[in-house]
A = this chain, B = another copy of it.
Amino acid sequence: MPVVGVIGAGQLARMTQPAAIALGITLKVFGEAEGSSAHQAVTKVGDYNDFDQLAEFAKTVDVITFDHEHVPTAILEKLVSQGIKVNPGPNALKHAQNKLTMRRKLTELGLPQPIWKAAKTEAEIAEFLANHGPKIVVKTPIGGYDGKGVRVISQTLEVSDWLAKIDSFGGELLLEEKVDFVGELAQLSARNPSGEFRAWPLVATFQEAGVCSEVVAPAPASEHHAKAEQIAKSIAEGLGVVGVMAVELFQSRSGEILVNELAMRPHNSGHFSIDAAITSQFEQHLRGVLDLPLGETSSTSKFAVMINLLGVDSENDFVRHYPKAMAMFPQIKFHMYEKAPRQGRKMGHLTLQGEDLTELLATGRACRDLLYNR
């Protein structure tokens, strides 16, 4: 079987291991440091900004893919130019790496998104504020994740620090209208190089302080399933995405869905699929990047709920509460990432499946609170 190389040794690489073990695929991970979440599969520790180190790692695998989107496009293009297979390729991945590149492409594809503009100066920001305020969203085009690199502002001076170092973000900031949304959704899908496309059910996502806290699959009482899948398909095909892609969407008060963010890798909104879908996003990503046919994405239950375990302090590793939590909640699937505890850090998640959504949410939250020792 081919060998898949993953750059980045976080929880996404960690959760890819079980899928690789089942399929009989060898997984090799390029980590940044010892003791990472995916440590068991790490075969090389190094700096992903160093072309030579990545090229050396690439010699040991058949295809390269990612746990994160931080490898510079120029380095990926150089790898590809030397005949190394990289999926998703830099031409697709650059849209997930740079939010302005993404916005421009979505405009070109005619897909629904918030009103946006690129800005280089305080005056341009002031003008956008005047037209779309009183509050607007400013994003650094590169380097943001989990709420970092995103600010809701009502005055230009709230991003004066970003303007002062605008060159480090590529010379521009992304301005977006602050969408009056009633909910957030995510459409998970996958595509392989042969062009096969499959989507999981549209899910509802819930954030706390900019970090995903809960996911409900499928999104209950949503009329947007077909539209969201169509948007994902247009993006996957329009951008030439290979592997799993998550499209985060706003559900506006006026009844539209608008593309918020893109991720071209397994995504927090798809963790439910490990336990509650016929094919998990991690297995599907492996199939996709290897150009194998994609697996069935249907659910094994009417509803699934995924609850993130976010660090409460630097002491509680959650697993110390396993005996009590497992005794009280035998139906819950526990997923721990072996990461050192830190406040707000994604440390693990819980998954429940069943018929009664209200009960699933109440049970999952009770288990989370027990692990949090609240």
Chain A residues proximal to chain B, CB less than 8 Å: 1, 14-15, 17-18, 21-24, 40-41, 274, 278-279, 287, 292-296, 300-301, 319, 322-323, 326-327, 330-331, 333-338, 348, 353
Bound CA–CA A226/B341 (angstroms): 45
- With contacts A301-B300, A353-B300 taken as known, whether A330 is within 8 angstroms of B22 at the C-beta atoms is no
A330 B294 Cβ-Cβ under 8 A: yes
**Inter-chain contacts of A24 with B (CB < 8 A):** 319, 334-338, 348
Query: How many copies of the chain does the oligomer comprise?
Result: 2
Q: Which of B22, B278, B326, B338 contacts A335 (CB 8 A)?
A: B22
Mostly, the A contact residues are: mixed
* A66 nearest CB across to chain B (Å): 19
Contacting A23 at CB < 8 Å: which of B15, B41, B327, B336? B336
Partner of A322, one of B17, B292, B335, B353: B292
Give bound CA distance, A333 to B18, whole Å: 13
Query: In the assembled complex, how far is the CB of residue A292 from the closest CB belonging to chain B, in whole angstroms?
Result: 5
In the bound assembly, the distance between CA atoms of A293 and B335 in angstroms comes to: 16
Q: How far is the CA of A1 from the CA of B323 in the complex (A)?
A: 12
- Which of B1, B296, B353 is within 8 Å of A331, CB to CB? B296
Q: Which B residues touch A279, using CB under 8 A? A: 330
Instruction: List the 9 closest pairs (A to B, CB-CB), nearest first.
Output: A24-B336, A18-B18, A293-B327, A293-B326, A300-B300, A296-B330, A296-B331, A1-B319, A22-B335
- Among A1, A278, A279, which residue has the most Cβ atoms of chain B within 10 A? A278
Inter-chain contacts of A17 with B (CB < 8 A):
17-18, 21
Do B18 and A323 have beta carbons less than 8 Å apart? no
